[in-house]
Amino acid sequence: MRYRNLGTSGLEVSVLGLGTNAFGGRADKDVSIRVLHHAVANGITFIDTANIYTGTKSEEIIGEAFEGRRQEVILATKAGMKRGEGPNSKGSSRRHLLQELEGSLRRLRTDYIDLYQIHTFDPNTPLDETLRTLDDLVSSGKVRYVGASNYSAWQMMKSLSISERQRLVKYVSVQPGYSLADRGIERELIPFCLDQGIGIIPYFPLAGGILTGKYSGGSVPSGSQLDKNPNFASRMDAARLNLGEQVTKIAADIGTSATALSLAWLMHRPAVSTVIAGATRESQIDENIRAVNLDLTEDIMRALDEASEEFRYSPPFGSAPRQK
């Protein structure tokens, strides 16, 4: 395994992280714990979750898996998405964040979070309030570093400006959707992150499996995203399926898999600190790890860039399907 600093912070993270939004859902507790232990045994230290994943089950499973082994992992979780029906059950207000942090600490069976992330920008709460709250959480020792998820470049820049002006803790990372099939952040967010020293943590790095080649020829493998969630079909347009086939061909030409190649491409992109890839079985961890030491030549990077160029200008992968 290789390790990098998260942005310009002193926190080192494995270049391959583990996404856990399937734990307690597509992967039951026993399977999830085996996957977590297998990941750590192979050098993966960065474990990413959120308070809403599988109705809090993801955090609960992670807490059980690493009880007594807390020091072996970097735990990252998030808050801000809707957690109930009340008026204060979502967002990044002081009230909501303080309440949700305590719940995450309890479920994760720990007294601190390594990276606490605001799950999405909250237009209804002043950024000063959110950042002051995060600063207090860091001062209390319950949080070590703070980051954002799904923020745009201007939202990140405004946040950093407030933190600097008021001498508050600063975001060290941002977590956007990013893959060969979703390159929109290259237009503004990546230049911003390079300028300000912010680490990027891509999610959806395999575009829900499209970049693994598993859907080639119209097949729907058992247990896949499309098999478990028919609504996922809205994201599988012809252009992305064609990209998956091109990536599979390039991978075959250099003797690797489409999965490893897609993850390695991200690891070669500027400002990327760690790539969070999900796994619902131990063999997927082994496959994903192949990307870590895959050295891509300039010719391969150019071929992948050219094949995916149109996705620098497409709506995000997680948004509604593109209109023809």
Write out the catalytic residue numbers.
53
Element (H, E) at 83: none
For residue 198, give the nearest of 231, 165, 170 by alpha carbon: 170
Helix, strand or coil for residue 173? strand
Residue 79 is classified by DSSP as E
Q: Rounded distance, CA 46 to CA 76, Å? A: 7
For residue 246, give the nearest of 216, 209, 290, 204 by alpha carbon: 216
CA atoms within 13 A on the CB side of 63: 19
For residue 15, give the nearest of 211, 311, 265 by alpha carbon: 265
For residue 92, give the nearest of 172, 151, 22, 25 by alpha carbon: 151
Label residue 91 exposed, middle or buried (CB < 10 Å: 0-12, 13-18, 19+): buried
Relative orientation angle of helices 57-65 and 29-41, to the nearest 10 degrees: 50
